[in-house]
Amino acid sequence: MSLISLITGKPGPSGFGSASTAEQVTEGIDASHLTAIVTGGASGIGAETVRVLALRGAHVIIAARNLEAANNAKQLILEENGAARVDVLKLDLSSLKSVREFADSFLAMDLPLNILLNNAGVMFCPYQLSEDGIEMQFATNHLGHFHLTNLLLEKMKRTARETGVEGRIVNLSSIAHKHTYDEGIQFDKINDQSGYSDKKAYGQSKLAIILHANELSRRLQAEGANVTINSVHPGLIMTNLMRHSFLLMQILKVFTYIFWKNVPQGAATTCYVALHPSLKGVTGTYFLDCNKFTASPLATNEELAKKLWDFSNKLINSAEQRA
């Protein structure tokens, strides 16, 4: 996708572009046989993703920390679409205990699982540690989703085997993955406060999200599982995600307004990668504006991805042993 395409919304090879909406990229798709989980589905592009998946017939579980907001989002969807199938379950991605409790609750529902949309996140947080003692942006954006995906992966594989329908995992990253610490992931200083940068820590977490997708994609392909995983950059959208830097983002938007999207456009790439039939078998790929895009060299570094995989598992095992 060229800069001109980004500005003008001109469609790319997929037939869609930056101006496409989630409804447009899923038009005519029947998802009534699918069950999906959307983390952070209570607001912003997550709520729009839930709405459009439900509009196409999918049974959607909103996984959210704020149950009141999630139930409000569900009610709005039902008012528009009385046939929508939407459930709400509590999930705090910054807490590994909450992640496991969510997975247990979902598995107890005995539903199939076709789609996992790792959408939720935090952005530009002041330095703080999660309840597990891990830097908050890394803990929420990457580690919580990494743990959740692992806990639900067997259910997704089994659903794909039993139904013959390809499972799809979509990780929401960001173009900000290119703006991280020099080494990409600060394995030895993941919780270091002295050198903390809220912007670089955010970039680090978004880089980790792509590395996770790429490494899991290689592992799924090696075992022949009928499950794909891809990562996406949704674009610049003013949502609650930017609450820690609202004034800065408002100023930035004045000078970069031609690059910004509304919420329906922001949810388009996620919905496209989750549902579009043209992407059957496509995995380990990074998408921007509903088209394949080249991620940074760090994001495609296989050794870095393997190291992150092992590091993430060690963090989770250590935290759970302390609990």
Catalytic residue positions, numbered: 196
Beta-carbon neighbour count of residue 85 at 10 Å? 16
Residue whose structure tokens are 């290119």: 178
- 245 contact partners, CB below 8 Å, separation of at least 6: 123, 124, 198
Q: What are phi and psi of 78, to 5 degrees?
A: -65, -35
- 188 contact partners, CB below 8 Å, separation of at least 6: none
Where are the strands (E) in 112-257, listed by range? 115-118, 167-172, 227-233
Beta-carbon neighbour count of residue 133 at 10 Å? 12
Q: Which residues of 13-42 are buried (b: 16+ CB within 10 A; e: fewer)?
A: ebebbbbbbbbbbbeebebeebbbbbbbbb
Q: How far apart are the first and last CA of the chain?
A: 46
Question: Which candidate, 184, 263, 270, places its Cα nearest to that of 233?
Answer: 270
Instruction: Give me the sign of the Cα torsion angle 131, 132, 133, 136.
Output: negative
| Tokens linked to 157 | 């594989």
Distances (CA, A) of 68 to 241, 289, 320: 18, 31, 28
Q: Give me the residues paired with residue 171 across strands.
A: 118, 231
